[in-house]
Amino acid sequence: MALPTHFIKIGELLEESAETENDNLILERLKLLAQEHLPEGWTEWKVAQLTKEQVLGNPVDPLVLNKIRFALPTLGVVRAFSPEADHLSEKTYRDIKMSMLEWAFCRALIMSPPSVSNRIRGSAAQSEIFNQAVRDMKPWLISRQEASGQLGEKSEAGSEEEMSEDSHGKRRRYSSKEQVVKRPRLDRVTLLENKVDTMFTSICARLDDLAKTQSTGVESSAEEEDELPYNSDQESSQTWQAPAIDFTDNLDLDFLPDVKEAAPDIPEPSPIIKAEGIACQRFGSESWNKIRYKEVQKRLQAAPVFGALKVNSQLGSLATRSFASDLLVTFDDTLGTICHGLLNQRKALAEVLKGLTAKHPDIVDDLKSVLIDTNSNFKNYSDDLLQFVCAHRAETIKFRRQAYKTKSDFRTVKLNQIPPSSTHIFDEEKLTDFLKEQGGFFSMFFTSGRIDPGTEHILSPKKSLG
């Protein structure tokens, strides 16, 4: 089967919503569960953009459904669907899996069986990397029977819960009857060695299978391969083989090199335009740095739409002055001024053309073909230049907004869904409503009343732009 070519970061799937309000509440709980348990950088992992049918077929094979495992704590998944659950039946567990398979965010976290995980991540090697990254979660990936037993124990224990504190100072709640399993983290060299050993063993096994296939003509079935552990490096099928090379006596094996040069990404301008550009910029002349813009800036500038967008008053205390931030603000203002000038230029040209066509109606068709029609070079260059400026300004505003990060990736994604207004980097009314929904400013950017690492400047008015 051909590998998928379109991939997306898991972090982008945080924007997914369910169809009903109740399902959306469950999905949000699962997103928070991932935020709490997956290792740092999980939102940058990439998965193939595939539908449920492309991943599992239609209908879903019950045998495959039984083997589906997600990189989320089993008990946490059950509580996301039913916070008061005191047991877990087979039917309930199947229904939970079927619901999760409807959401692309959950499908991206499938880690077993290998035939499904490989399809989602594009290859067996990428599946192995994923499984190595989440291996510390294995103690929380328990069977249905074990989960049902622990749910019953927790229901009976009731007030016997105790509070424990982890190494980061975060308080977590565990039942007195629940065994908390901690696995030591392996260093990067050990992880790499384990990964190489696993892949080498898998390759040797595959070579043995191919040798048996050639001698017996019988291939191992996909069902047998699905019985392997979820971190197996084997593909679900191996039907394609490269044709053999016929090394005959008259075969010419000179292997002469044939290296092609890539075409330049940015083409050279025409000689006339190149000469005009050098003359305008005064390149090669001692007066290159004497070109001034103050005289024309007043005619081109306009506010607020075409000036640098302001930082919202609620976020002013988070902003710090730096060369990079000041440069972004200046660039935002410059691109806005250029956009204003381009729009005024188009407006002035339109007014001139209206006057000419009023005096000379017979030139209307000629002017349209030269300046307005789709095939007009003038219109194409003018539209491209306007799009180039607007796109770069949008990118600059995006970089300015990235300076404001909440204490969790999930909330940061939600914050960045608020569009800019014509005056501020975040719409003022929508930002105010969002902060209220999330419990206020301190709840968004502080952790347990303490300042998050790297944001100590928040309480320093001398360093703020507010």
Centroid of chain to Cα 406: 17
Please compute Rg for the chain using Cα positions.
31
Q: H-helix or E-strand containing 173?
A: strand 171-174
Q: In angstroms, rounded to a whole number, what is the distance separating the alpha carbons of residues 113 and 231? A: 9
pLDDT score of 81: 93
Q: In angstroms, rounded to a whole number, what is the distance separating the alpha carbons of residues 111 and 109? A: 6
At 223, the amino acid letter reads E
pLDDT score of 109: 92
The DSSP letter of residue 184 is P
pLDDT score of 437: 87
Q: H-helix or E-strand containing 341?
A: helix 323-359
Peptide bond into 113 cis (omega under 30): yes
Structure tokens at 399: 């970089």
pLDDT score of 466: 30
Query: How does pLDDT run across 192-201, given as a tens digit for each residue?
Result: 566 666 666 6
Q: Are 445 and 43 in contact (CB under 8 A)?
A: no
pLDDT score of 319: 67
Q: In angstroms, rounded to a whole number, what is the distance separating the alpha carbons of residues 420 and 309? A: 8
pLDDT score of 168: 44
pLDDT score of 344: 85
Packed helices 124-133 and 114-121: angle between N→C axes, nearest 10 degrees: 100
Structure tokens at 187: 């260093």
Listed as ranges, residues in the chain with pLDDT below 50 are 1-4, 159-186, 218-238, 245-251, 449-466
pLDDT score of 380: 83
pLDDT score of 183: 41
Q: In angstroms, rounded to a whole number, what is the distance separating the alpha carbons of residues 455 and 442? A: 12
Query: What is the model's pTM?
Result: 0.43
pLDDT score of 463: 37
pLDDT score of 200: 63
Structure tokens at 226: 């699905």
Give which of 142, 103, 110 is closest to 126, Cα–Cα. Answer: 110
pLDDT score of 221: 43
pLDDT score of 165: 44
pLDDT score of 409: 82
